[in-house]
A and B are shown apart, each in its own frame.
Chain A
Amino acid sequence: EPEVTQTPSHQVTQMGQEVILRCVPISNHLYFYWYRQILGQKVEFLVSFYNNEISEKSEIFDDQFSVERPDGSNFTLKIRSTKLEDSAMYFCASSGAGGGGLNTEAFFGQGTRLTVV
C-alpha cells in the first residue's frame, strides 16, 4: 500500500539553526500539506501546496518557513532560524484528485519530531 514517508524521524537542532524536513508524498497525489502537533494536542495547519505553489498558509507559516518540491517527488519544509517554540511533531500529508479533488482523504506520514534546544 502506498504511503507518505518522512525523514528524519527525529531531529534535534540548536536555536537559530536551519532545519529541513523531508517528505515523499504518494506518487500520484496532487495536494500536499504540512501540519504540526505540539505534545499530542491539536493538529495545526501550516501550509498547503498545489500545482507547484502555495495555495494556502496559516499565520504560523511566517517568513521563517518555506516549502519546496524540488524534483517532483520530494516535498520539503525549511525553517530558516529555529526557535524553541518550533519544537513539535511535523506531519506531511498528501491527497489525490479523484472526483474533483474534494472527496479524497489525506494520507499522513509518521511525522518528524523536531526538538529545538
Chain B
Amino acid sequence: AQSVAQPEDQVNVAEGNPLTVKCTYSVSGNPYLFWYVQYPNRGLQFLLKYITGDNLVKGSYGFEAEFNKSQTSFHLKKPSALVSDSALYFCAVRFYFNKFYFGSGTKLNVKP
C-alpha cells in the first residue's frame, strides 16, 4: 500500500541553524514527491517536488529536499532557518492521475 510518513510531530530549531524535516514513503513504482507549507489559517502552498533527475531539488524560500531511493526518504532541508519559516509542513506523494497522499504534518518552530 502506498503511504507517506512524517515521524516527527514537531521540530524545534534556533534561528540561523540548519533545519531538517523528515519524510519517508512507501510506494510501488517511481514516486512523485512534494513538500507543502501551511501558515496559520491558510491553504497549503507548494514548496518543491521531485520527479526525476538530481536527488537534490531546490524550491521556494531557500528550501531544498533530498531524495534517497535506498532509504525511501525525501527530507526537507534549509541551511539557515528563519523565524518566519515557522509553520506546518506536509510531505506528499502522488500516484498515477489520482490523489496526493499527505503525511500527518510536522510543526516547525524556529526560535529567535
Contact = CB atoms under 8 A, between A and B. Distances in A.
A55 B44 contact: no
Contact of B49 (A33, A45, A105, A107): A105
A90 B105 CA distance: 17
A111 B98 contact: no
Nearest to A9: B41
A13 interface: no
Interface residues of B, number: 26
A4 B36 CA distance: 15
Interface stretch (A14-22, A36-44, A62-70, A71-79): A36-44
B61 interface: no
B105 A91 contact: no
A111 B43 contact: yes
A92 B98 CA distance: 14
Counting chain A residues whose Cβ lies within 8 A of the other chain, the interface size class is 20 to 34
B63 interface: no
B101 A102 contact: no
Given A40-B88, A48-B99, A55-B97, A105 B43 contact: no
B90 interface: yes
A102 B32 contact: yes
Contact of B90 (A43, A48, A56, A107): A43
A50 B43 CA distance: 22
A105 B46 contact: yes
Nearest to B44: A108
B90 A109 contact: no
Given A40-B88, A41-B105, A102-B32, A107 B46 contact: yes
The 10 closest A-B pairs by CB, nearest first: A108-B43, A103-B51, A43-B102, A108-B44, A105-B46, A110-B43, A56-B98, A45-B99, A42-B104, A48-B99
15 contacts: A35-B102, A41-B105, A42-B102, A42-B104, A43-B44, A55-B97, A91-B43, A101-B97, A102-B32, A105-B34, A106-B34, A106-B100, A108-B36, A110-B42, A111-B43
